[in-house]
Chains A and B, each alone.
Chain A
Amino acid sequence: MKTFVCIKYVPDTSEAEVKVNPDGTSVDSSRFSFDINDADNYAVEESVLIKEAHGGSVTIVSIGPKESEVMIRMALAKGADNAVRVEDSRIAAYDPLMVARTLAGVIKGQEFDLVLTGCMASDDGQMATGVALAELLGVSHAAMVKKLEILDGKVKAHRELEGGLMEVVELSLPAVITIQTGINEPRYAPIRGIREAQKKELKVVNLDDLGIAADQVDVSASKIVLEKLYIPEVVSKAEIIEGEPDEKAEKLASILVKGGLV
């Protein structure tokens, strides 16, 4: 199995205040900590599990800044063989179709059996890149996969629908699979792997190196325009319980008991 895994370096905004920059179309990410996108982490693990069970190789592909190399090295330490990092400010990164076109430019022309991506990036949340990539590569696909069985020249993909219901589909290879969280238990990188990862190939390329004309993936190529970002007004009807932690807990307890809620 020759597998490509596309991963994204994303900010952790779950506990951080997000501020929009004065340009109105970007957020101030200077204080965020970045790491691999949650679903992509499961995709990396799945690719390494497949390699361990069936042989072959794993190539990591990521579009991102120099700092993201820490994340890429971590994937190499877990068992991926080599990596390509694309850095080019001309890519219209807000448009998943432009991102998919760039990724297709990296993969097209090379032999592969599988391309794995996360099913959703936690920052943009579009759930579009992987499925668009499959169409660009002209191969079959399945999105939101929570179990993957490798058969002879085929895969059985269990797509997670609602309420835990699974739709099982059979795809011929090559195929693009977008991985849902929970498909496996991502490992920690072993110390030896971390050392070896430093010696593995990590190629850095731009659009010119890939032979992609900038006007195929830049804002002029995109059919959508990011007009503005803004912080939505939160209309909360919530009663905010104030005080020291102990007071808050006590106030809540009385509200629940007096209101007959418990």
Chain B
Amino acid sequence: MGNVFVLAEHRQGALRDITLEMLALAPGLAKDFGGEVEVLLLGSGVDALAEKLSGYGVKVLVVDDPLLADYNSDKYQKVLSALIDQRKPSLVMVGHTAQGVDMAPALAVEKDLPFVADVIDLKLEEGVLKATRQLYSGKVNATIAFKPADTYLVTVREAAFEAPDPSAAGSIEKIDSPLKEDLDYRKFVEYIEAEVGDVDITQSEVLVAIGRGLREDKNLPIIEELANTIKADLCGSRAAVDAGWLPHDRQVGTSGKSVKPKLYIALGISGAFQHVAGIKGAKTVVAVNKDPEAPIFAHADYAIVDDLLKIVPKLTEKLKELKG
């Protein structure tokens, strides 16, 4: 009792950032619960990852099993379920990621755990665990209190916390795998890498990004003209890609690319966290949006509250003139 489980997320031999980000939050909570942090590392041949994780001053519980060679949400659920029974942690933290969202809600149902998804903050206040999460893609925050229970479950938003630096040496404990046999109802088949397009936007110096606010593809030419004028590459939000205005390799965000241009001009993009997670590396961000409350403005250096269809043509004209 009192311990905090952090589920390590890794793929193809590499730890994913969310694992370390959760370590920014876990030690304080473990202290408040009167326990320690235990990082759960599930996989096959993961000694190197265990070494690395233990360098953050935590205990790493390793379940090394050939059955865990490829990620499988159902197998992870089975292992977590067994470990929760055996070790009764007070809190289980899982990333709100493609892996985590495919597993955590089912675990919550199976173990009947109080569960909050996509938390951006988590605190123990006078014995009550309280989570902060966002609604309406960031326009409203919610405080959610957990009813008292032995074990709580959360998924933690990506890029919401800064990963700590390695600290003291921790320890590693190997645990017998609770898996007895392979599953017949869910099988990992393969990973398929994204197709490579004509332009690699992760290397672009200047990016012009469009979102659903563009409305129709007939508005694309004014955007292209702006991009040509300043030698920028085009990219956009998931909504712009879904609408067919841009190919998939031009999508910026968690399920797209992370970019690091000198200048990022966001046109008609609301600023959902899945999008802005991809522009953390941008040096200067300009946002044009009709809605003064748009979350994108919290990430901008220069803001224009207006109709992009009015701003862009004039902007292009003036840029041409100035650059002459």
Contacts and interface: CB of A to CB of B under 8 A. Distances in A.
Interface of A: 11, 13-18, 20, 27, 94, 96-97, 100, 119, 122-132, 134-136, 140-144, 156, 158-172, 180-182, 185, 222-232, 234-241, 245-246, 248-250, 252-257, 259, 261-262
Interface residues of B, number: 103
A127 B157 CA distance: 12
B98 A237 contact: no
Contacts, number: 272
Interface in B59-80: 71-74
Contact of A167 (B191, B238, B291): B191
The 3 closest A-B pairs by CB, nearest first: A164-B194, A249-B314, A223-B114
A124 B137 CA distance: 8
Given A227-B142, A238-B300, A248-B306, 10 more contacts: A18-B140, A165-B193, A166-B194, A167-B191, A168-B192, A181-B238, A185-B244, A223-B147, A229-B141, A249-B311
The A contact surface, by secondary structure, is mixed
Contact of A262 (B206, B238, B241, B303): B206
Interface in B137-151: 137-147, 149
B242 A144 contact: no
B191 A225 contact: no
Contacts of B194: 163-166
A127 B317 CA distance: 43
Contact of B102 (A14, A144, A185, A238): A144
B319 interface: yes
Nearest to B100: A127
A236 B115 contact: no
A232 B220 CA distance: 34
B103 interface: yes
Given A20-B140, A131-B106, A261-B262, A167 B188 contact: yes
Given A167-B71, A223-B146, A18 B115 contact: no
Contact of A228 (B143, B146, B262, B314): B143
Interface stretch (B25-33, B164-172, B249-257): B249-257
B255 A97 contact: no
